[in-house]
Amino acid sequence: MSFNSSDIGAFQDIWVFCEQREGKLMNTDLELVSEGRKLADERGSKLIGILLGHNVEGIAKELGGYGADKVIVCDDPALEVYTTDAYTKVLCDVAMEEKPEIILIGATNIGRDLGPRCAARLRTGLTADCTHLDIDMNKYVEFLTESSTLDVANTTFKMEDMNLKMTRPAFGGHLMATIICPRFRPCMSTVRPGVMKKGEYSQEKADACEIQMYPVSISPEDLKTKVTDVVKETKKLVDLIGAEIVVSVGRGISKNVEEGIGLAEQLADAFGNAVVGGSRAVIDSGWLPADHQVGQTGKTVHPRIYVALGISGAIQHKAGMQDSELIIAVNKDETAPIFDCADYGIAGDLFKVVPMMIEAIKAENANK
Ligand SMILES: Cc1cc2nc3c(=O)[nH]c(=O)nc-3n(C[C@H](O)[C@H](O)[C@H](O)COP(=O)(O)OP(=O)(O)OC[C@H]3O[C@@H](n4cnc5c(N)ncnc54)[C@H](O)[C@@H]3O)c2cc1C
């Protein structure tokens, strides 16, 4: 097999590594396949899912429903549970043979382990934790115009550039950096879960998706680790990413933490279908567990409604919630930056405002 990562003309197609756990696809796979579809259309190339596991062929077609033209399935008992050695070996073997131009991987715990390992073995670059991807230069310029402080009108761009433009927060979220990998292939990127939007499912596309069973070769010498047992966290983690409505609290509850969290829970109950999140200040203070954190180093959410109670609106917090459909902020400081991205802003003490909100929602519910 000849593989030379700098022979960039030899590479084609966009791949999405589709992570499964216990034979179930992750939500990130569907988000990434949906995003990959857009990129493949911009590039004029095929979108291929790569699925590793054991007895997982049955779940492959679903990826087609979100836009994959084809799914390469690598089936082996050694791939049933994730291990760095086995997954790296197989993903790199297939990539060296098939030469994809781009590989997208979800920045889950597994993706963050697998991505860099494969990039090093394939002698290419990887941009970690991306929050935005473009290929088409017009779309990229549009993105810069909408969301950057760059003087786009007076900047010269190479409009024919078809490299994947991978944007991610840098320097603690104070700036967004766009990174390209122009001299090596595949161009690799891990993408934060919850950032890309899952597209519409099409049964017709799922039925049309080609499934290719790929021969796998793993020998005992390839494996340095063995999973003897999988112990699951017994605590039920909060599903911030999938929530319709998120009510988040910040350091503004510090006057009476118990009451502040209680009010957020009551507000979430009144809405129904809502969960409680928090800023990092709240998590660092131990007022809520880490899985409740929204923001750059927490979860990225885009619910139908996001309520920020006593949250100042630091750039790192906004990075995780500013794409919510509707943002309501309560803060006693009317100059707080959270109001810049809020659709409704209430300048006031949350301990007085939230009980009124709860009453208003209850009254509205009773009228229905
Ligand atoms: C690398 C890095 C990563 C980070 N990642 C994250 C992240 O993922 N998520 C995150 O949230 N932060 C993150 N941060 C921290 C971030 O910079 C802020 O420090 C944090 O978001 C502040 O949390 P806060 O808004 O709750 O607290 P503060 O900034 O202290 O704001 C509290 C707000 O509450 C208001 N307030 C006070 N009392 C009341 C009251 N009674 N009623 C109404 N309003 C009141 C105040 O006016 C103030 O605006 C990160 C920082 C760094 C450097």
pLDDT single digits (tens) 93-150:
999 999 999 999 999 999 999 999 999 999 999 999 999 999 999 999 999 998 888 8
Atom 27, ligand 1: which residue's CA is nearest? 251
**Strand 344-347 relative to strand 326-331: parallel, antiparallel, unpaired?**
parallel
pLDDT < 70: residue spans in the chain: 1, 172-173, 234-235
Ligand 1 geometric centre to CA of 154 (Å): 35
The token pair at 278 is 């928090």
The token pair at 226 is 């063995």
Tell me the per-residue pLDDT of 3-44, one tens digit each, with 9 for 90 and over: 999 999 999 999 999 999 999 999 999 999 999 999 999 999
| CB of 247 closer than 8 Å to CB of 267 | yes
Alpha carbon distance 87, 152 (integer Å): 42
Atom 1, ligand 1: which residue's CA is nearest? 172
Atom 43, ligand 1: which residue's CA is nearest? 331
Q: What single-letter amino acid sits at 61?
A: K
- Of 53, 45, 99, 35, give the one whose Cα is nearest residue 69: 45
Ligand 1 geometric centre to CA of 313 (Å): 6
Alpha carbon distance 65, 20 (integer Å): 16
- Closest ligand 1 atom to Cα of 312: 49
Give residue for tokens 């800023």: 279
Candidates 195, 248, 279: which one to mutate for ligand 1, based on the most atoms within 8 Å of Cβ? 279
Candidates 247, 297, 339, 357: which one to mutate for ligand 1, based on the most atoms within 8 Å of Cβ? 297
- Closest ligand 1 atom to Cα of 295: 8
Ligand 1 geometric centre to CA of 175 (Å): 18
| CB of 51 closer than 8 Å to CB of 74 | yes
SS3 324: coil
Ligand 1 shell residues, CB under 6 Å = 172, 250-252, 255, 279-282, 293-298, 310-312, 314, 316-317, 320, 330-333, 336, 349-351
Candidates 256, 287, 296, 350: which one to mutate for ligand 1, based on the most atoms within 8 Å of Cβ? 296
Domains of the chain, start order = 8-222 (3.40.50.620), 245-367 (3.40.50.1220)
Cα Rg of the chain, angstroms? 23
pLDDT at 237: 74
Ligand 1 geometric centre to CA of 287 (Å): 13
pLDDT at 2: 79
- Closest ligand 1 atom to Cα of 313: 25
| CB of 5 closer than 8 Å to CB of 124 | yes
